A and B are shown apart, each in its own frame.
Chain A
Amino acid sequence: MNVEVQIVDGPVPEPRQWAVAGAGALVSFAGVVRPTEEGQAIEGLMYEAYRPMAERQIESIARMLITEHGLLAMRIAHSVGWVRVGECSFRLDVAAAHRQEAITAMGEFINRLKQDVPIWKQAR
């Protein structure tokens, strides 16, 4: 199973090219910092993580979804520290033989991330 997890300081950089043998679908999601939080204009978000647990949880969720949906690979990057409005703080790439399982797994991964991965953000 191919899972790649990165916790990066600051914004998530542009991804390098990704080739996965057997893939017919490479689906990507980029989360960027919104200009408002609860109706208030913000400059950015400060992310905090319990880093060793966050890495383990992300990998564990990815492996579970790969098994459940028969995916080929997942690649996940999340920021810690300061990320300005408009910059990327989260990126998820899913590779599968067909699009539907990749799209389904993407939504499930993001829901699990927001429930079970120890990362917090605070608007400034």
Chain B
Amino acid sequence: MASSMKLAIKLFGPEARAVGRGELVVDVAALPIDCETLRRRVAEVEPKLTNLLMTARFAVNYTFVDADHMIGADDEVAIINQVCGG
């Protein structure tokens, strides 16, 4: 039987409002996982985020990362979109 791993993702702003919470836990087939694969997995789990994910960036351990960045089990992951401070 195939097993999966859970990955917690922090949500803020428009993403958090779209799903009504500040964290999403998704099952992934294996870790590490690259950001682009995780983006597609998040859209499967939460279709409400599909459009927002098109412009969102991933942050891993408080740093913006590229689509091919590999995320491990101990990483802190966040989806960041449309920031508007000031």
Contacts and interface: CB of A to CB of B under 8 A. Distances in A.
Contacts of A49: 85
A53 B78 contact: yes
Contacts of A54: 85
Contacts of A56: 62-63
A54 B64 CA distance: 11
Contact of B83 (A31, A110, A116): A116
A5 to B, nearest CB: 13
Contacts of A90: 85-86
A118 B80 contact: yes
Interface string A82-124: 0000000110000000000000000000100111111111000
B62 A53 contact: yes
Contacts of A50: 10, 12, 59, 62, 78, 80
Contact of B62 (A52, A89, A110, A115): A52
A33 to B, nearest CB: 11
Interface residues of A, number: 23
Contacts, number: 56
A80 to B, nearest CB: 10
A118 B59 CA distance: 10
A121 B85 contact: yes
B84 A118 contact: no
A72 B80 CA distance: 31
B12 A120 contact: yes
A47 B85 contact: yes
B65 to A, nearest CB: 12
B84 A121 contact: yes
Interface in B62-78: 62-64, 78
A119 B84 CA distance: 6
B13 interface: yes
Interface of A: 31, 47-50, 52-54, 56-57, 78, 89-90, 110, 113-121
